Chains A and B, each alone.
Chain A
Amino acid sequence: MSRPLVEICGDVRSGKVTARSRVEAYLAEIARREPEIHAFNEVHADAALAQADAVDAMVASGRDPGPLAGAVLAIKDNIVMREGRTTCSSRMLANYRSPFDATVIERLRSAGAVFIGKTNLDEFAMGSSTENSAFGVTKNPHDTTRVAGGSSGGSAAAVAAGFCDASLGSDTGGSIRQPAALCGCVGFKPTYGRVSRLGLVAFGSSLDQIGPFARSVADAALVYDALAGRDQGDSTTADVPHEPLAAKVAAPLAGLRVGVPREYRSGANAPAVAEALERAIAAARAFGAEIVDIELPLTDIGISTYYVIAPAEASSNLARYDGIRYGHRAKLAPGEDLEALYSKSRAEGFGPEVQRRILLGTYVLSSGYYDAYYKRALQVRRLIKEEFDRAFERCDVILGPTSPIPAFPIGGMKDPLSMYLCDVYTVNTNIAGIPGISINGGFADEGGRRLPIGLQLQSKAFAEETLLRAAAMFERALA
């Protein structure tokens, strides 16, 4: 087990270690292995060192930089910050420089964190492999012939490869939890409304949520504590008070009820994934939890629901990229009009998967199809939420695999629908707006490589304390 981040930051706060030395160590590791992994779109070496020096100067002058003093973080490149560019791994935004910091960046800065760079993603966070990036594929640090997962593949790989202490991702249908699973780190999506989305480039606004990747549940909790809470700049942040959790996560829960849905023990799970789940169930029994057999019959329908709602919201959100105010602008031939400017700029700026989702979303929202697709998906969405509500009357957390398969070979998933189907265990979390976390649950042996397997825990909305404490219990039991 790695050294807890709270202790590392404690050493920086007390002056025992400098933030600069920590950044330098990570930059050395990045220089050594980043060419092979490609976790980053940009490494901000100079800015990170300057931020580290500012932290060290505060300590030297007797002031406290904050609970994340000298914590070195990588940021998914769809979260805006003043340093460098925010590209969403898209040609559309290849040169975009944000005039402001996202709320999460402001909060992390004021907690003493240092930002080492922007991480690769599937373009506009649409994908499950980080292969749909305009700037190249991120490789899995456990086997560089395989994907890191997605869409926050760069943030997951950065933690797994030891390029940073923790990172931020965004999760619309599993984009934090699935890459965490495939890269063997912790990935935590908080309840919808816990963390401000101001400065997160919008994909599916009723689904998107920012959360941390980390080496441990306790580290994830420490970063989450800095992120959570109402923001005047995001009217969908909830007025639910956030109690800091980092100091609480190590405390076990007595009488924990762990729900295991029949549908999560599906035959579609790879054998090693199925074994990891059974091992986790046995471990839970051993630490005194009650295992509750539950049913979530709408598990499979989640994919269809999600692939109506998310593209519908995306087609609307991405309408802003018109080549006028920012982003890619096409060159027009003589006589071409404004309409051509929009259509050509968008066709040149967006990659195939983004265009596919815009087309799909436009279709399900179009006259004559709205009721059959979009409205119906929103009705099923309510049924999925109610199904979770009923389940959480009988259990405190729901346990299952994060992904039915470990990391797959780069280029191995040709058909978009096959890729979508891998999101079966993660999309309903976003549809219902509840929190979910992926922790490592073991490894699959594939041709001499050890590929991480992720276990997911979900809880009811705003029950992050229960969720993280339960996750820490599993983490200890499975270590």
Chain B
Amino acid sequence: MADALTDADIKKIAKLSRLSLPDSQVGAVRTQLSTILGHIAQLQAVPVAGVEPMAHPLRIVNRLDADEPKAPMPVADLLRNAPAVEDRYLAVPKVLGDGGGA
């Protein structure tokens, strides 16, 4: 299968992955992913008609535990790892553009 990957494919995958990828690296990434996908293409040769996909090795059915509240983690502990904080909140860049209303 696997049509050859194009530079446009790589840019699209990088965007979906939320990874900024400089144009200068697109070609190298395309070559690496193409090599790996070329190997993975072996999967197409395995007969799988009627085989149920197996997403998980354990046959666990949903398990219910008693709904018992526990002490939450202190907010200060959680914020300690945040890259930017204002008061008791995570600081982020402006989300809404100019003129965007809420």
Contacts and interface: CB of A to CB of B under 8 A. Distances in A.
Nearest to A432: B57
A383 B33 contact: no
A363 interface: yes
Nearest to B46: A380
A332 interface: yes
Interface in A61-77: none
A327 B81 CA distance: 7
A201 to B, nearest CB: 13
Given A236-B58, A327-B83, A343 B19 contact: yes
B88 interface: no
Interface in A302-325: 303-305, 307-308, 315, 319, 322-325
Contact of B60 (A236, A360, A378, A381): A236
B20 A356 contact: no
Given A308-B40, A338-B95, A379 B57 contact: no
Interface string A362-397: 110010000011011111111101000000000000
Nearest to B60: A236
Interface residues on A, range: 35 or more
B58 A304 contact: no
Contacts of A375: 53
A338 to B, nearest CB: 5
A96 B1 contact: no
B8 interface: no
Contact of A385 (B15, B20, B54): B54
Interface of A is mostly: helix
Interface in A403-428: 415-417, 420
Given A96-B81, A341-B93, A417-B36, A382 B51 contact: yes
A35 to B, nearest CB: 30
Interface string A338-362: 1111111011001000011011101
A283 to B, nearest CB: 31
B39 A417 contact: yes
Contacts of A303: 39
A379 B18 contact: no
A373 B40 contact: yes
B36 A360 contact: yes
Interface string B13-40: 1111111110000000100110111011
B63 A363 contact: no
B102 interface: no
A336 to B, nearest CB: 8
Interface in A28-87: none
A145 interface: no
B58 A238 contact: yes
Given A304-B39, A355-B19, A380-B43, A325 B90 contact: yes
A339 B57 CA distance: 36
Which of A95, A373, A431 has most B Cβ within 10 Å?
A373
Contacts of B16: 362, 366
B46 A416 contact: no
A362 B13 contact: yes
A215 to B, nearest CB: 29
Contacts of A300: 42
A389 B8 CA distance: 43
A346 B55 contact: no
3 interchain residue pairs of minimum CB distance? A433-B57, A378-B53, A329-B83
Interface of A: 95-97, 99-100, 192-193, 206, 232, 235-236, 238-239, 298, 300-301, 303-305, 307-308, 315, 319, 322-329, 332, 336-344, 346-347, 350, 355-356, 358-360, 362-363, 366, 372-373, 375-383, 385, 415-417, 420, 431-434, 461
Given A304-B41, A359-B17, A376-B43, 8 more contacts: A99-B73, A326-B82, A346-B17, A356-B29, A376-B48, A377-B43, A417-B36, A433-B57
